[in-house]
Amino acid sequence: MKVLSVNCGSSSLKFQLYEMPEEKALISGVFERIGMKESFYTIKINGEKIKTETDLPNHKVAFEFLIKELKENKIVKSLDEIKGIGHRVVQGGSYFDKTVVVDEDVIAKIDELSSLAPLHNPAAITGIRAAQEVVPNATQTVVFDTAFHQTMEEENYLYAVPYEWYTDYKVRRYGAHGTSHKYVALRANQILGRNNTKLITCHIGNGASISAVKNGECINTSMGLTPNAGLIMGSRCGDIDATIVPYIMEKTKMSPKEVDTALNKKSGLLGISGVSSDSRDVEDGINKGNKRCALAQKMYVRRIIDYIAKYYVELEGCDAIIFTAGVGENSIGTRREVMDGLKVLGVIADPEANNVRGKETLITTKDSKIPCYIIPTDEELMIARDTYLLAK
């Protein structure tokens, strides 16, 4: 069965087509600058990348080009071969704790939650509608970033604010990156050979979050009502004193929207370093003697260590720490600094094993009390797995 995994942004569409249940990736690609000038798409097949510049006025046209490429590359002969299309949706709120088949009620709830993910949920609906038009016979599903975190208890997902904010306005911790945390936790359990595990999964990218996972279920996670909570990220501040917001508004006369933009797009590594939101640029700055880059990196690593330590206590121990996503998979230095900061927990890094990028491997010594692994994430495959089960 052929299953398509789709991730729509406001002006983009990423996809990967799988043969299921073999989990064989057949073709992947990304459509960029949809609805804008100089739009284009890139297809990756048989290890080769092919870029095509073309007019992409909307997501439906992007889907039509997608199908055209599948046919021209002889991946499918007809649309009926695509039995399922799984869509990534960032915010599912309290409504969804698992992947579901799309219907009008599901779409209405995704739309209702758009205020919690204004850049993502509306784009996902656009993608779903486009896919329904272009591939009408496929089973359409939605896979929520927040679903994996719905196993948290009230004491972990509620904020100590007036309770009516929760009942009336849905203010609570939802988390994000759930599909990634779930994937690497499942893979870690396979490596460890058991399911009764205590794991700390670290999705460290431009956006970043850490989860405490016990026996395959999330018990706590660092992101909150929105993705701007927990860790210091590329351009997001993460945890701050909430009173900073009204204080800065009073001092600068900034609007709520302007402050929100500053905290989400001008803070984090970018805000402290003054150089870039990209971890690689910050590391380059450190090598050139830039003190603000060095400070940004110290703060960045310290917050990661803090959350791992917090979840170690909450889990009452830890069977493995997992590094994944862009920085987690590829930054040798950041992983080393985090592991060195966890020596008090008995973590002993293996410098030679850690000297890799994007490869699944154990990066601590045999004497380490907690093994640390790199496990490259595969959110597209998780989407395909869930969609296959529902389409089947």
Has residue 123 been placed in a domain?
A: yes
pLDDT band at 392; cut points 50, 70, 90: confident
Has residue 182 been placed in a domain?
A: no
CATH of the domain at 126: 3.30.420.40
The whole-number average pLDDT for the span 350-373 is: 97
- Checking if the pLDDT of 127 tops 90, the result is no
Lowest mean pLDDT among 2-16, 131-145, 204-218: 2-16
Q: What is the DSSP letter of 113?
A: G
- Checking if the pLDDT of 10 tops 80, the result is no
Residues 19 and 85 in one domain: yes
What per-residue confidence (pLDDT) applies to 18?
Answer: 96
What per-residue confidence (pLDDT) applies to 332?
Answer: 96
Q: What span, in angstroms and rounded, lies between the C-alpha atoms of 279 and 258?
A: 25
What per-residue confidence (pLDDT) applies to 218?
Answer: 97
Residues 359 and 259 in one domain: yes
**Residue 114 CB: number of other CB atoms within 10 A?**
17
- Checking if the pLDDT of 58 tops 90, the result is no
In degrees and rounded to multiples of 5, residue 190 shows phi and psi of -65, -45
**Is residue 145 annotated as part of the catalytic site, yes or no?**
yes
**Higher per-residue pLDDT: 46 or 139:** 139
Residues 136 and 214 in one domain: no
What per-residue confidence (pLDDT) applies to 36?
Answer: 84
**Residue 172 CB: number of other CB atoms within 10 A?**
19
Q: What is the DSSP letter of 102?
A: -
What per-residue confidence (pLDDT) applies to 12?
Answer: 79
- Helices 178-192 and 379-391, axial angle in degrees (round to 10): 90
The whole-number average pLDDT for the span 53-64 is: 90
On average, the pLDDT of the chain sits at 94
**Per-residue pLDDT tens digits for 11-27:** 778 899 999 999 999 99
- Checking if the pLDDT of 360 tops 90, the result is yes
As given in the structure block, the two tokens for residue 172 are: 């609570």
As given in the structure block, the two tokens for residue 331 are: 């930054």
Angle (CA) 387-125-130 rounded to 5° is 80
What per-residue confidence (pLDDT) applies to 160?
Answer: 97
The whole-number average pLDDT for the span 25-53 is: 90
State the Rg of the chain over Cα.
21
As given in the structure block, the two tokens for residue 157 are: 């997902």
Residues 207 and 334 in one domain: yes
Contact 42, 123 (CB under 8 A): no
**Per-residue pLDDT tens digits for 164-218:** 999 999 999 999 999 999 999 999 999 999 999 999 999 998 889 999 999 999 9
What per-residue confidence (pLDDT) applies to 23?
Answer: 94
What per-residue confidence (pLDDT) applies to 33?
Answer: 86
What per-residue confidence (pLDDT) applies to 32?
Answer: 86
What per-residue confidence (pLDDT) applies to 126?
Answer: 87
Comparing C-alpha atoms, which of 267, 281, 269, 283 is closest to residue 335? 283
pLDDT band at 324; cut points 50, 70, 90: very high
What per-residue confidence (pLDDT) applies to 37?
Answer: 85
Q: In what order do the strands lie in the sheet with 139-144?
A: 48-53, 40-45, 24-32, 12-19, 2-8, 82-89, 139-144, 100-101
What per-residue confidence (pLDDT) applies to 119?
Answer: 72
| Element at 303 (helix H, strand E) | helix 291-315
- Checking if the pLDDT of 266 tops 80, the result is yes
pLDDT band at 238; cut points 50, 70, 90: very high
Catalytic entry in 80, 145, 260, 306: 145
Domain total for the chain? 2
Lowest mean pLDDT among 87-96, 239-248, 330-339: 87-96
Residues 46 and 104 in one domain: yes
Q: What span, in angstroms and rounded, lies between the C-alpha atoms of 127 and 137?
A: 16
pLDDT band at 118; cut points 50, 70, 90: confident
Question: What is the total residue count of the chain?
Answer: 392
Residues 271 and 374 in one domain: yes
Percent of the chain with pLDDT over 70: 100
What per-residue confidence (pLDDT) applies to 258?
Answer: 96
Has residue 164 been placed in a domain?
A: no
Angle (CA) 208-212-213 rounded to 5° is 120
Residues 201 and 313 in one domain: yes
**Residue 130 CB: number of other CB atoms within 10 A?**
22
Has residue 176 been placed in a domain?
A: no
- Checking if the pLDDT of 9 tops 80, the result is no
Residues 32 and 100 in one domain: yes
What per-residue confidence (pLDDT) applies to 92?
Answer: 93
**Residue 77 CB: number of other CB atoms within 10 A?**
9
Q: What pTM was computed for the model?
A: 0.90
Residues 259 and 117 in one domain: no
Residues 131 and 219 in one domain: no
Percent of the chain with pLDDT over 90: 80
Residues 313 and 373 in one domain: yes
Has residue 387 been placed in a domain?
A: no
The whole-number average pLDDT for the span 216-223 is: 97
Residues 138 and 268 in one domain: no
As given in the structure block, the two tokens for residue 341 are: 């900061």
pLDDT band at 321; cut points 50, 70, 90: very high
Of 119, 144, 169, the residue that ends a domain is: 144
Contact 89, 124 (CB under 8 A): yes
Residue 59 belongs to domain spanning: 2-144
70, 216, 338 from 304: Cα distances, Å: 42, 21, 7
Q: What span, in angstroms and rounded, lies between the C-alpha atoms of 302 and 205?
A: 15
The whole-number average pLDDT for the span 371-383 is: 95
